[in-house]
Amino acid sequence: MQKTSSRLLALLSLLQAHRDWSGDALAQRLDVTSRTVRRDVHRLRELGYRIATVKGPAGGYRLEAGAQMPPMLFDDGQVVALAVALRTAAADASVAEDAARALATLRQVMPPRLRRSVDLLRVTAVEPPTARDSPPADPRVLLELSRVIQAREELRFDYVPLPVPTAGRDPGAATAGEAAPAAGGAPGTLADEASPVGAPAPAEGAVPVPAGETGPREPTPPAPAGPRLDPESPRRVQPHHLVTRRHRWYLVAWDLDRADWRVFRVARIRPRTPTGPRFTPRELLGGSTAAFITSRFRGNDGSTADWPCHGEVVLRLPAAEVAPFAGDGIVEELGPDRCRLALGSWSWAGLAAAFARFDAEMEVIGPPRLAAAFATLAARASRAANTTEPEPEQDG
């Protein structure tokens, strides 16, 4: 028979892994009598674990949540998984300090063999360029949003502008109310809550979620047309989902005053109290949160995750040089120095610029609207080239 201490740990492990256990099942798994199980359950209760007695023919036990976090029992694999998760979470500024303290606490109670293994595991989470000047979400706001989502309560909040960083600002990162560059920026970066070039910024201040799946910096269209409301008035929404993407938190919600789905930056949300009445959740466009967010980041209304514009060209570059920068595009090798590239983007001008960033001769396969976009882009580039005197080339 196991010693009492090891038997208590084994019993706790079983109660944590399964919601309800009958007394006979626990006795069989621990190879003890039912009376011993009852005594061990009593000992765990004295240590602070809330173990409820389940009524029924066979009787049983259930580990319930308590007012305080009792000691937990993890196997080796769970400890390593927790350490990896906490190291990764430490890159998120909104929970960085708490994650670091939790990891330090976990490491302190680890057995030496596990501590050595975890110390050998070094995880470096690389922040995307947009995270450098992006203010983190307030953990208290995240908790409040999670609560109202779970309770299905209407939410009122102020939607405040983000501070515009000055020193060291990424010149390509647009903020709300600014026009972001079209395609052709640095691969893998995003515009921050911007409207398409030439399009008005959304008056109500809701977030048109940025695109950027193929590499260039691409904003999404403004929010759908609706009533012109005071952008400084409190927002009234039915909150549905919290989403994190590239170190930014977003709230997906049904806007009651605009009668449409909106995506809000959590860093801009200032909740008001009290919250509103309960509501019945609506069906989200696209069928899932992931599909809806992907659609909005790609410039669609949320009903489809596909790009609005698609095209193909033949590039005079080897496929091996194109593939690392093609994002979710399709590269087909046509020869040692030629390949076919199919891409999608949020607009035809953005798509043409996405192809142009490969800086190579190309032939448009289709559709005709892509060829027309290249002509428009070429005319704009020609006019831009004539606005300043070119600098003389230097020898050597």
Question: Binning pLDDT at 50, 70 and 90, where does residue 254 land?
Answer: very high
- Which residues in 193-231 are b (16+ Cβ under 10 Å) and which e? bbbbeeeebbebbbbbbbbbbbbbbbbbbbbeebeeeee
Q: Report d(CA 170, CA 168) in Å as an integer.
A: 6
Query: pLDDT per residue over 168-177, tens digit each?
Result: 433 333 333 2
Query: pLDDT per residue over 324-372, tens digit each?
Result: 888 888 888 888 899 999 998 888 998 999 999 998 999 999 899 999 9
Report residue 41: phi and psi, to 5°: -65, -40
- Tell me if 266 sits within 8 A of 145, measured CB to CB: yes
Q: Is the dihedral of CA 307, 311, 317, 318 positive or negative?
A: positive
- Tell me if 317 sits within 8 A of 339, measured CB to CB: yes
pTM of the model: 0.54
Residues 6+ apart with CB under 8 A from 121: 80, 83, 84, 87
Query: pLDDT per residue over 124-148, tens digit each?
Result: 666 655 555 567 788 889 889 999 9
Question: Binning pLDDT at 50, 70 and 90, where does residue 395 land?
Answer: low
Which range is least confidently modeled, 88-92, 163-167, 357-361?
163-167
Q: What is the pLDDT of residue 137?
A: 82
Say what percent of the chain tops pLDDT 70. Answer: 69
Q: Report d(CA 160, CA 274) in Å as an integer.
A: 19
Q: Report d(CA 319, CA 242) in Å as an integer.
A: 39
Q: What is the pLDDT of residue 253?
A: 93
